[in-house]
């Protein structure tokens, strides 16, 4: 048996909560709202669902709760259905989607809901920094005083040194993503910013400033996955999952060959492109993991959209805008839409599904047939990629 013999699988429903500081909603409320929205969007009955896959990173630290799979099944009213939590730091949502895909492709499950969720604002900023530090190598990084923005600052410094990338180019990532976020009713920040705003914002870890960084966010997103041959019972526009890649790298940044390219992205993308039988030129729209502005520049280079070292200039030149050569982060990305770490990977799927269905409203890209999601865990120790296509 090879990949060709796997059952073909499609997304037939997506849903999410608004992203932001949601003081009025608990972790349970968030996942229930997103899950319900996806189930309603699919027009599927709860009793048809035979599996749940949930991604969340640090619920133990953020809300004192583990055993998240069972909690989700309980709170969306689907117990005793099989429910599995996966964790890969900020790639937890993308990895949950991969498990849902695998579950239906295998035949072990038939119709599943995938959810991603994080409730990050119930703890102090310091506590959140420590919790997020668990995405890196605690023994070799956080315990030595290296916070998460500091890791990406090292990456940014090296990219500037090797390729002449500028702070203005990084700022242009934030400007573009805020422009897109301003068109997205789910986004945490629905306002435009200018390059000067980024440059004069508070330094966090030089050269990264506040507006180079994604925020702390509460939120959830969900998707319904079924076999392709049953998908048209639920929707006229099933979105097939045609490629899936997942790779790892050393968890500590210092152990890697390069700071300016993520091996996990390259390996996962290579696998996903081959599985989907497409090339970077075939991708019409892509959500990438812009936890910091430099991360988007690395991603659009490592995914093959731009030559290594030219991602900053391409962004500055408008090539990744909604009407550009390859529209990146039409949702607003992590930067403007917000980054509830476990939810982000599933929100990326929702955005691509809306784009492929032609439902992205003011952010709609013209003539889209194939879309991609790129979800990173930590400073690049995990990458999860999916390629989706409007079914014929």
Q: 31, 38, 44, 95: which one contacts a second copy (CB under 8 A)?
A: 95
Min dist. Cβ of residue 42 to a second copy (A): 20
Q: 14, 44, 99, 120: which one contacts a second copy (CB under 8 A)?
A: 99
Min dist. Cβ of residue 20 to a second copy (A): 22
3-state SS class at 218: strand
Asked whether position 142 contacts a second copy by CB under 8 A, the answer is yes
Q: 11, 88, 171, 259: which one contacts a second copy (CB under 8 A)?
A: 88
Residue with Cβ nearer a second copy (174 or 376)? 376
Give Cα separations from 278 to 275, 283, 317, 355 (angstroms).
Answer: 8, 8, 26, 18
Give the whole-angstrom CA distance, residue 88 versus residue 364.
30
The active-site residue out of 339, 374, 383, 386 is 339
User: CA 376, 167, 176: angle at the middle one, nearest 5?
Assistant: 60
Residues 202-261 touching a second copy, rule: CB under 8 A, are: 227, 244, 246-252, 255
Q: In angstroms, how far is the first alpha carbon of the chain from the final one?
A: 25
Give the whole-angstrom CA distance, residue 67 versus residue 281.
41
Q: 137, 284, 301, 319: which one contacts a second copy (CB under 8 A)?
A: 137
Residues 47-66 touching a second copy, rule: CB under 8 A, are: 57-61, 63-66
Min dist. Cβ of residue 178 to a second copy (A): 28
Give Cα separations from 21 to 10, 221, 376 (angstroms).
Answer: 32, 15, 22
Residues 306-365 touching a second copy, rule: CB under 8 A, are: none
Note the Cα 360 to chain centre separation in Å: 17
Min dist. Cβ of residue 240 to a second copy (A): 15
Q: 20, 69, 333, 340: which one contacts a second copy (CB under 8 A)?
A: 69
State the SS3 of 271-300. Answer: HHHHHHCCCHHHCCEEECCCCEHHHHHHHH
3-state SS class at 91: coil
3-state SS class at 386: strand
Residue 213 among the catalytic residues:
no
Size of the site for a second copy (CB under 8 A): 70
Residues 366-385 touching a second copy, rule: CB under 8 A, are: 377-378, 381-382
Note the Cα 37 to chain centre separation in Å: 19
The active-site residue out of 90, 213, 286, 291 is 90
Asked whether position 40 contacts a second copy by CB under 8 A, the answer is no
Give the number of residues written for the chain.
392
Q: 48, 122, 128, 134: which one contacts a second copy (CB under 8 A)?
A: 134
Site string for a second copy, 10-29 (x = CB under 8 A): ----------------x---
Note the Cα 34 to chain centre separation in Å: 15
Phi-psi region of 64 (alpha: psi -120 to 50; beta: other; left: phi over 0): left
Residue 337 among the catalytic residues:
no
Half-sphere CA count of 352, side-chain side, radius 13 A = 33
Picking from 387, 347, 265, 352, the residue whose alpha carbon sits closest to that of residue 55 is: 347
Q: At which residue do the structure tokens 């934030």 appear? A: 174
Q: 1, 126, 202, 367: which one contacts a second copy (CB under 8 A)?
A: 1
- What positions carry a catalytic annotation? 90, 339
Under the rule (CB under 8 A), what is the footprint of a second copy? Answer: 1-3, 5-7, 26, 57-61, 63-71, 73-74, 79-89, 95, 98-99, 102-103, 105-108, 130-131, 133-139, 142, 227, 244, 246-252, 255, 263-264, 267, 377-378, 381-382
């Amino acid at each position: 048996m090879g990949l060709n013999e796997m059952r073909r699988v499609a997304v037939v429903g997506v849903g999410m909560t608004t992203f932001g500081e949601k003081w009025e909603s608990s972790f349970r409320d968030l996942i229930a709202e997103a899950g319900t929205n996806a189930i309603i969007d699919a027009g599927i009955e709860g009793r048809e669902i035979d599996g749940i896959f949930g991604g969340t990173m640090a619920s133990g630290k953020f809300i004192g709760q583990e055993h998240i799979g069972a909690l989700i099944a309980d709170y969306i009213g689907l117990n005793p259905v099989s429910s599995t939590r996966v964790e890969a730091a900020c790639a937890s949502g993308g990895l949950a989607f991969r498990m849902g895909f695998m579950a239906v492709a295998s035949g072990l499950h038939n119709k599943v809901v995938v959810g991603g969720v994080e409730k990050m604002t119930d703890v102090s900023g310091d506590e959140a920094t420590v919790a997020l530090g668990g995405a890196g190598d605690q023994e070799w990084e956080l315990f030595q005083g290296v916070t998460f923005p500091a890791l990406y600052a090292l990456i940014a410094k090296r990219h500037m040194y090797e390729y002449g990338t500028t702070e203005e180019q990084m700022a242009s990532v934030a400007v573009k993503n805020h422009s897109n976020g301003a068109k997205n009713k789910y986004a945490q920040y629905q306002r435009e910013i200018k390059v000067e705003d980024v440059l004069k914002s508070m330094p966090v870890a030089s050269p990264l400033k506040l507006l180079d960084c994604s925020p702390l966010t509460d939120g959830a997103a969900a998707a319904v996955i079924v076999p392709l041959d049953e998908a048209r019972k639920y929707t006229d526009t099933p979105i097939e999952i045609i490629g899936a890649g997942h790779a790892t790298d050393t968890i500590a940044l210092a152990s890697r060959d390069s700071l300016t390219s993520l091996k996990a992205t390259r390996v996962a993308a290579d696998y996903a492109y081959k599985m989907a039988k497409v090339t970077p030129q075939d991708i019409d729209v892509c959500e990438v993991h812009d936890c910091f502005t430099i991360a988007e520049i690395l991603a659009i280079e490592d995914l093959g959209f731009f030559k290594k070292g030219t991602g900053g200039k391409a962004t500055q030149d408008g090539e990744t805008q909604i009407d550009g050569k390859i529209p990146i982060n039409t949702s607003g990305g992590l930067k403007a839409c917000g980054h509830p770490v476990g939810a982000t990977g599933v929100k990326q799927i929702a955005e691509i599904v809306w784009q492929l269905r032609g439902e992205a409203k003011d952010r709609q890209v013209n003539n889209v047939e194939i879309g991609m999601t790129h979800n990173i865990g930590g400073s690049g120790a995990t990458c999860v990629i999916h390629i989706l296509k409007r079914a014929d």
